[in-house]
């Protein structure tokens, strides 16, 4: 076998060399194709003879992961809570393809465009995996000629980034977006987006947080006032965006050495980006000697003042911080921008874990127009919840034993105390299933009673219907409360009503569920 394998490999090499020579000599296409067929035939023999399974490492691709039942239970619970808030504010759900035409995504993300996953040519279309859910929304609005929409979208996105798995940074991950599209009065929908974020973070209760806000027009005015050329505004903005991860000196060096900003201009920017506060700061900056001469800066500051006023009316003033260091590097933002950040490390067991940004968004009024043949604009504002980082915090708490999670939603387990009750268990399961009650039983014909009850305890199943020979002869069955271990006989024909009544009582007391 080894000898024939070596001979075959040698023939493949010789045939491959022949094909390459023919191509280099620009021989007739028919002749080249004939030799290529011979090469493919030789390779197919190699595959047939080399049918022994190859050893390889079982792993998920870099920046991706599997999720076990406990982790999925946490994720689904978080997503359901987020969706409940989105629906409370009137949002409708849409979905878009996981990949888009490459041209749709090109030029929308600034320096982050290098993180887009490109796909091979598929039937004449050059495609890329979606980088976020915002650009696909803008394409959807333009293509469908929609001018007003309040939507939410929860789906996976893809970024060819350097992953940090323990901090919730992946190459494949979920985004949860809430967006309001349409021509409305200044800062009214923007303030509601901030309200949505606070409701979600309060609902999830993962730690203290602050919502930082800024304005792209203010940033442009600040760069202008500091002496940055207009063609360097976006690249300078992407440098400022790194202040949440890097010290000012590193950001300043990048601005000067990589972005071409003059040292004096960088130093002027440095004096502004250390500022944060509330309405008082915005009113003070309106009187600033440099900023007051910039129309863009004034427009941004007036917008911030109005936004903070509306946030006070929504009862979230104490969660909002006007912060001039907030930039957000994506090119499509045109107005207010914001980011939610946990203010304290999360204590899990004996360790403290820093999470950072857990939500972000802003206004993007020009994005839809990029896809419209007549450049018709549809103003939009939205927010994306960083659920992966939220998941990482909750999963760490699960691993540390600080929380317990149900991985199923079964309410009733049908058990038998004696042998040969499989058929009766099946009948009762059918009745409960047909009544919409989440039910299961053992797949063994004669399971041990202790094993059945242990299964209920291990899986937090609240009730068990226990079948016994003497009870069934009298037309009765037992309902057992797994937590209290109390049992009560009920008529067989009233089983569904009795189970529903007990489940309603358990739900009222908050015993059932995750």
Query: What CA–CA distance (Å, rounded) separates 243 from 251?
Result: 7
Higher pLDDT, 141 or 45: 141
Locate tokens 């969660």: which residue? 319
pLDDT in tens, 94-134: 999 999 999 999 888 877 788 999 998 778 899 999 999 99
Residue 490, strand partner residues: 477
**H-helix or E-strand spanning residue 24:** helix 2-24
pLDDT of residue 443: 96
* Distances in whole angstroms, Cα of residue 186 to Cα of each of 307, 335, 505: 9, 10, 48
pLDDT band at residue 49 using 50, 70 and 90 as cut-offs: very low
How buried is 377 (Cβ within 10 angstroms: 0-12 exposed, 13-18 middle, 19+ buried)?
Answer: middle
Instruction: Give domain 68-207+381-407's CATH architecture.
Output: 2-Layer Sandwich (3.30)
pLDDT band at residue 258 using 50, 70 and 90 as cut-offs: confident
For residue 512, pLDDT over 50 is answered with: no
Is residue 282 a contact partner of residue 322, using CB atoms and an 8 Å limit? yes
pLDDT band at residue 52 using 50, 70 and 90 as cut-offs: low
pLDDT in tens, 482-507: 999 999 999 999 999 999 999 999 87
pLDDT in tens, 147-193: 999 999 999 999 998 877 766 678 999 999 999 999 999 999 999 99
Query: What CA–CA distance (Å, rounded) separates 453 from 147?
Result: 57
pLDDT band at residue 37 using 50, 70 and 90 as cut-offs: confident
Mean pLDDT across 282-308:
94
412-509 matches 68-207+381-407 in CATH topology: no
Higher pLDDT, 352 or 390: 390
**Can you give the pTM of this predicted structure?**
0.80
Contacts of 467 by beta carbon, 8 Å cutoff, 6+ apart = 414, 415, 416, 417, 418, 421, 424, 425, 428, 477, 478
For residue 306, pLDDT over 80 is answered with: yes
Q: Of the candidates 381, 391, 328, which has an alpha carbon nearest to the alpha carbon of residue 358?
A: 391
Contacts of 111 by beta carbon, 8 Å cutoff, 6+ apart = 235, 238, 329
User: Which fold would CATH assign to domain 412-509?
Assistant: Rossmann fold (3.40.50)
Is residue 183 a contact partner of residue 147, using CB atoms and an 8 Å limit? yes
Q: Give the SS3 label for residue 111.
A: helix
Contacts 24+ apart (CB under 8 A), 121-124: none
Q: Give the SS3 label for residue 116.
A: coil
**Answer CATH for 208-343 from 3.30.9.90, 3.30.930.10, 1.25.40.10, 3.40.50.150:** 3.30.930.10
pLDDT band at residue 30 using 50, 70 and 90 as cut-offs: confident
pLDDT of residue 44: 80
Residue 122 is classified by DSSP as B
What does the domain layout of the chain look like in residue ranges? Answer: 2-51, 68-207+381-407, 208-343, 412-509
Which tokens is 160 given?
Answer: 């060819």
Residue-averaged pLDDT of the chain: 89
Query: What CA–CA distance (Å, rounded) separates 217 from 166?
Result: 35
pLDDT band at residue 83 using 50, 70 and 90 as cut-offs: very high
Sheet containing 439-441: which strands, arranged edge to edge?
439-441, 412-416, 463-467, 476-481, 487-491
For residue 510, pLDDT over 50 is answered with: no
| % the chain with pLDDT above 90 | 60
| % the chain with pLDDT above 70 | 95
pLDDT band at residue 349 using 50, 70 and 90 as cut-offs: low
Pairing label, strands 320-323, 209-215: parallel
């Amino acid at each position: 076998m080894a000898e024939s394998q070596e001979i075959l490999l040698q023939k493949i090499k010789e045939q491959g060399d022949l094909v390459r020579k023919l191509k280099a000599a620009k021989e007739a296409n028919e002749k080249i194709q004939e030799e290529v067929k011979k090469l493919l035939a030789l390779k197919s023999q190699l595959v047939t003879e080399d049918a022994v399974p190859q050893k390889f490492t079982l792993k998920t691709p870099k920046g991706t992961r599997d999720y076990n039942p406990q982790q999925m239970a946490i994720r689904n619970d978080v997503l359901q809570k987020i969706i409940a808030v989105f629906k409370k504010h009137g949002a409708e759900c849409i979905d878009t393809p996981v990949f888009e035409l490459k041209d749709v995504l090109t030029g929308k993300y600034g320096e982050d465009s290098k993180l887009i996953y490109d796909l091979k040519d598929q039937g004449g279309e050059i495609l890329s995996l979606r980088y976020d859910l915002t650009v696909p929304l803008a394409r959807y609005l333009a293509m469908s000629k929609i001018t007003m929409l309040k939507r939410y979208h929860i789906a996976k996105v893809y970024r060819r980034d350097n992953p940090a798995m323990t901090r919730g940074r992946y190459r494949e991950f979920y985004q949860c977006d809430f967006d309001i599209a349409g021509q409305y009065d200044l800062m009214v929908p923007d303030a509601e987006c901030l309200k949505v974020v606070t409701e979600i973070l309060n609902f999830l209760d993962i730690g203290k947080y602050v919502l930082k806000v800024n304005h792209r027009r203010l940033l442009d005015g600040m760069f202008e006032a500091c002496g940055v050329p207009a063609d360097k505004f976006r690249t300078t903005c992407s440098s400022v965006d790194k202040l949440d991860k890097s010290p000012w000196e590193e950001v300043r060096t990048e601005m000067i050495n990589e972005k071409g900003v003059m040292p004096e201009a960088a130093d002027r920017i440095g004096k502004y980006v250390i500022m944060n506060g509330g309405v008082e700061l915005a009113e003070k900056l309106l009187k600033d000697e440099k900023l007051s001469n910039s129309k863009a800066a004034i427009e941004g500051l007036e917008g911030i003042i109005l936004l903070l006023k509306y946030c006070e009316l929504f009862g979230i003033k104490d969660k909002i911080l006007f912060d001039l260091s907030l930039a957000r590097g994506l090119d499509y933002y045109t107005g207010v921008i914001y980011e939610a950040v946990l203010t304290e490390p999360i204590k899990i067991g004996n360790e403290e874990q820093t999470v950072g940004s857990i939500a972000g968004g802003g206004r993007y009024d020009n994005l839809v127009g990029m896809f419209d043949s007549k450049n018709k604009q549809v103003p939009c504002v939205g927010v994306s919840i960083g659920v992966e980082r939220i998941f990482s915090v909750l999963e760490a708490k699960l691993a540390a034993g600080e929380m317990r999670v149900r991985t199923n939603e079964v309410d009733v387990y049908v058990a038998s105390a004696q042998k040969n009750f499989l058929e009766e268990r099946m009948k009762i399961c059918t009745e409960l299933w047909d009544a919409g009650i989440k039910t299961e039983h053992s797949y063994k014909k004669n399971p041990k009673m202790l094993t059945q009850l242990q299964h209920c305890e291990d899986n937090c199943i609240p009730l068990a219907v226990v079948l016994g020979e003497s009870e069934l002869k009298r037309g009765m069955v037992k309902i057992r409360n797994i937590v209290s271990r109390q049992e009560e006989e009920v008529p067989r024909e009233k089983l569904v009503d009795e189970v529903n009544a007990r489940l309603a009582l358990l739900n009222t007391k908050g015993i059932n569920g995750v």
